[in-house]
Structure 1
Amino acid sequence: MSTSTREISKDELIYVPISEDEENPKYGGLKKELLVRDLSDLEEKYVVCCSCKGVLRGTMFTEKGYKCSNCVKGDDKNTVGVEQPAIDTIEVFCPMRHKGCERKETISTIEDHLANCEFYPVACELNCEKLLLPDEVEEHVQNECENRMVGCAYCSDNLKVADMDNHLLECTEHPVMCPNDCQPNEMKRKELEQHINKECKLAVVNCVYSHSGCEVNLARNEMVEHENVYQSEHLRCLNSYIKRLESTIMRNTNGTIVMQINELESKLKGGQEVRLESEPFYVCLYKCQAIIELNDRSRKVIGVYVRVVKGEWDDELKWPFNGRFTFSMINKKKENRNKIRSVEVRGEDDKNFHKPDDDVKPGRGFTVFASHDLVRQAKFSGGDSLLLKICVEPYSTQLY
């Protein structure tokens, strides 16, 4: 058995190539040089295809001459089949003669020989597109083919050899080195994030008082000394932080705002979309904003929404946001006839209520809260104005 294998080129095959398509190669007749006798005493036009120049196979007669059936094109005229018993009896050398096969066969029997010829290449059974000699196949499939399946040395995954390098770049069990070159330095990839975030003594971390204003970043093993040396400065930062926090809470514990739309009738009749946004307001330290749209999406309806926007306390809050938005349209004459609708927000299912970034996210509410006709008929617009009360109720105010 061979200790190594090599790919056989298509030039070593028995057929003359007539197509350059590597994925779907097409072959014409047998190679002319395989003929045992030369054609000096034969009429070559009856033996050799005028297109591929190989020995005729499935002979067809066209106005251009004799062609193999595979070589006939759609524009060939007067195409008729021709019996070729005389051609089938012509002897040819095995195309693997240069590799050591001494057999001679007729054109009609050569393919039967090739099916068992020890020198004729066969395709890899794992579909790697390589052609191999029969006695090389086993070695190739077991030890060389990139399509053979192997197990990862670090996890339980089985995959192709060709895919192993990419797998090792992601394998959670693969050993990796801490980028901070700490000791011990080697661990599983799945442990690296936890190590850097919680354990690595050389990882650069923020001071525990960073939320209060301290901007120092040091290696974890240097931070203890920093905290001890700067205790009085940290206390001042913390006191200032607490005062700002108390001030914000006192200003925003209610979570309810009222928006008044004046000159309502002219806005409704205008037909153009009118969008009103409230000043941002805090609710349990979450910064929110209410939006009202008249003629929402060019329809005669009023839409109402609330969104969470980037705020001062986002780093201290628990995310995503979960809560309830309640929208009330005030009937100025009959308070018990207010129109009220609520919507529940579950941030786990809505990425728009994860921790805000610089991109303003869409809100949550009702595209159709009330029609213009309802606003007029139910006297919600008394005095040509409309009052809408929006209440935001977070389910949790837990800080990190």
Structure 2
Amino acid sequence: MVRSLSQWTKTLSFPARISPNKSSKESVNIHQVSPTISPTLSSTSLAKNNEINAVMNNNNNHASLSEVNQIYSDPESEKAIMSSVVYCIHHKEGCKWSDELRKLKGHLNTCKHDAIPCTSKCGAQIPRVLMEDHLKYTCPQRRTRCEFCNKEFTGHSLENHLGNCGHEPLYCENKCGVKVARRHLSHHKATDCVKRLIGCRYCGGEFVADTLPAHHAKCGRVPVHCPKCDISIIAREELETHLKDECTVSVHSCSFKEAGCRFKGPRFALEKHLDESSQQHLSLMCGVVSKQQHQIASLKSALSRLSLNYSGTLIWKISDFAAKMAEAKSKEGMELVSPPFYTSQYGYKLQASLFPNGNGAGEDTHISVYIKILPGEYDALLRWPFAHSVSFTLFDQSTCPEKACNIVESFIPDPTWKNFQRPSREPDSLGFGFPKFVSHEMLKKRHFMKDDTMFIRVKVDPSKIVAV
């Protein structure tokens, strides 16, 4: 490459021959001082050099060296300038060349950092040191082959081709993990991809391809054969209904199976059996009803035992006493009986009774209370006669407990009296107690009645329970 003086002197860097403290007009574009060459320039030569630089630095002036020589033809100044030691204009890029100014032009023709036109004529100015990489990788006019289809392209056309090459392998967009050539990608996604969506041909739902076999294994609309008649093809979800209501070969048990009928047969035989065996079925159902009645009675007995009182103390609540008193006055001998209770879990079974209008000596004037012994489950293990003290207490329901005045009566059984012997299955209807427990007049004086209700406690002294 041939350069004019105006081109390669614009960025000259001279080794120092004049002190850097000199003014710019005296430096003549000298940036550094050479330790080896120190020519002395006359003031006339310096002025001439300044004028040359002014001409060179003008953007519109491309004067050649011969033109400068015509203007300033002083051989001595020219010789001094051309003998000055300078660095290569590319020393900042890494070129270490430095020599006389007259040799710079020849050096630039071989300097590897100097830019020259691309040899492939793409129009770019490329440093020699980068030319090989440019021609190989970045030059638009380079010739190269596509690594996927092996076709040859220019650099510019290769850039457009790379995004459209049909042989370029790409990952499937469904994330199945498979790489497929671009030209086969659409076919892969439509027919081969295990992650593509496929509609179930039975139920119409959409499923990922690799999950479709698992869906078919439980899909309710998949057709199956009836295991009995083996001629019907029905949906899996309808098989149970078919076997129960439609299949003519399926064996069915009689609907009275729970009642004891052991018939089994196909549907047509079952219908005939039901028509002909109505009397048999009726007898079976009567037996079931009888059995259920016994079970109900047994359950009621067990429930009543669970609700029994085994503490030896009974709190007896008598409601609607006014109505019961009126009934007792109009009906002679009317008796109220309490729930039965036990002196202990395996003790005596007792029951209290009350005559609202009195009994015996207390008739029409008093309330009479009695205790009687009922036949118990453990009477055979108990000691007889019954010998525990019994007390009756009528509670005063005063709002002030400190002022309450309860009525209490108690007795110790006479062992010689027959009512305290072991009871028979038909116990004495009266028992033992107090005919004049509390007078009708006394009931009105205190708060023995409240909300038409009275409370009576019957207590057996636990200290005298006889253990067996």
TM-score by length of structure 2 reads: 0.31
- By relative contact order (CA 8 Å, sep 6+), the higher-ranking structure is 1
- Greater helix content: 2
TM-score by length of structure 1 reads: 0.36
- Greater strand content: 1
